[in-house]
Structure 1
């Protein structure tokens, strides 16, 4: 849904005007921009990403410090998928390195981009106690711009730019400095503020859903070996499964430990 809103507002330029009508479709003023080679809304401008965005790389962890069940999970390029963060296979460490930078201690809602291999993949951070490894970048910018930049780099235009910029080496590598030289349209701050207000509940719901999926996946992974080796058995009744009250929590309570 956030992607569709981005396309409607910032590709088709049909964001709400001062009267709540679609800007371009209702005949509002468009101005030719020589850099962009097309009309853009009056008052908007074209400038490089680095005017507002810096992409910072992660920490160079030493594999000798890894543990199988440490407190912190390390996010590498394999965890950054198209539009989502896969933390099912992560190396862990027990304590934070003393020299780790603040931005490498990830927060929910942070935006990440892969800088090696499948370059240009972007995703949001949806969990806690995650640390950023090198060759993964995190968006560092004012919150006003973070979702706009995220949607731009997730778009076909942004992704194609990343892929083309990274090509040419034996292994594709994306330079954050070169990437942030790319120019794009900067909307008015008022429009960005309204966009953020509109998509905020969508993003919050997405993060909440991802956390539920993560919890259910962990529960499944913990229970499956027990079921396979006969340590637990499943006792459920089909009538209840057809009930609207059925939930995974209830289902788990029906597992009888032998």
Structure 2
């Protein structure tokens, strides 16, 4: 272990302390103005990522469902992201990292992280997740209603050697992929539950006819809260 002046603590020999902007590009999202003129009431336009989409499930690493959309004309006035983009909330409830899993546009309440080495993908996510509460704890009053882009850019980031980062990525990648797969399955099961349960409860369909009609080979168990499809 050796003393690191920037972090004010000891770190392993060979590790480094870099500003976050040395590991990736950090840019702010953008909102078309006035926003009401660009909202799509039919929800068939371009998914529009807002902070509220993340706060519904803060612990999930992924954003799979977006509640609102903007019309195509708003795309050029916003910031577009593609699946697997890492974003971080910088307003309202700041410091939440998420991987976007759809093509969408990003509200100006988000920071977009790009241009990092592939093996840094999950490391960056967990670094931000780890320091989030420290950042909030250091803040006083209403400072962190908006997390300044420049502050995140200069955030001191403990950085192991490349070989360790690559080993970390090898270990974490299959776990994250499994989490994503399971979250997608849960989403489909919830959709199935919400479709079937009202029909079953009011007698419009029976369990046998439902299974027969859709050729499902599932065992469906009901309780007061959920429908499990196994």
For normalisation by structure 1, the TM-score amounts to 0.68
Closer, same or farther: CA 228–132 of 1 in aligned 2, 3 Å = farther
* Conservation of the 8 A alpha-carbon contact between 2:86 and 2:125: yes
Match of 1:175 in 2: 148
- Superposition misfits of 4+ residues, deviation over 6 angstroms: none
1:215 aligns with 2:191: no
**Corresponding residue number in structure 2 for 1:99:** 76
Map of 1:52 onto structure 2: 23
The total of aligned residue pairs comes to 207
Cα gap change, 1:197 to 1:89, in 2 (>3 Å): closer
Alignment of 1:210-249 (within 5 A): 210-224=183-197, 226-227=199-200, 232-236=204-208, 246=218
**How far apart in 1 are the matches of 2:104 and 2:195?**
21
Decide whether the 8 Å contact of 1:110 with 1:138 is kept in 2: yes
Question: Greater CA deviation, 166-175 or 134-143?
Answer: 166-175
Match of 1:114 in 2: 89
**Comparing 173-182 and 136-145, the one that deviates more:** 136-145
Unpaired runs of at least 5, structure 1: 1-29, 238-244, 253-258
C-alpha distance after superposition, 1:48-94 (max 9, x if no partner): 11112333222314333313331532211011132324655611245
Contiguous gaps of at least 5 residues in structure 2: 210-216, 221-226
Structure 1 position 166, deviation (Å): 5.7
User: Matched residue of 1:190: which SS?
Assistant: helix
Matched residues in 2 for 1:223 and 1:117: separation? Answer: 36
Give per-residue Cα distances to partners, 1:113-147, cap 9 Å, x unaligned: 2111111122223x323332220222223123221
Q: Deviations over 1:13-71 (max 9, x none)?
A: xxxxxxxxxxxxxxxxx222233233222211112111123332223143333133315
Find the aligned partners of 2:70 and 2:219 in 1 and give their Cα distance: 34
Which protein has greater RCO, CA pairs closer than 8 Å, 6+ apart?
A: 2
User: Closer, same or farther in 2 for the Cα pair 1:215/1:34, shift >3 Å?
Assistant: same
Q: Secondary structure at the match of 2:92?
A: coil
Q: Is the 8 A contact 2:97 2:128 kept in 1?
A: yes
* 8 Å CA contact retained: 1:119, 1:166: no
Structure 1 residues 170 and 144: CA distance shift in structure 2, 3 A: closer
CA distance in 2, matches of 1:41, 1:34: 13
Contact kept, 8 Å, 2:85 with 2:112, in 1: the verdict is yes
Within 5 A, what are the aligned runs for 1:8-47? 30-47=1-18
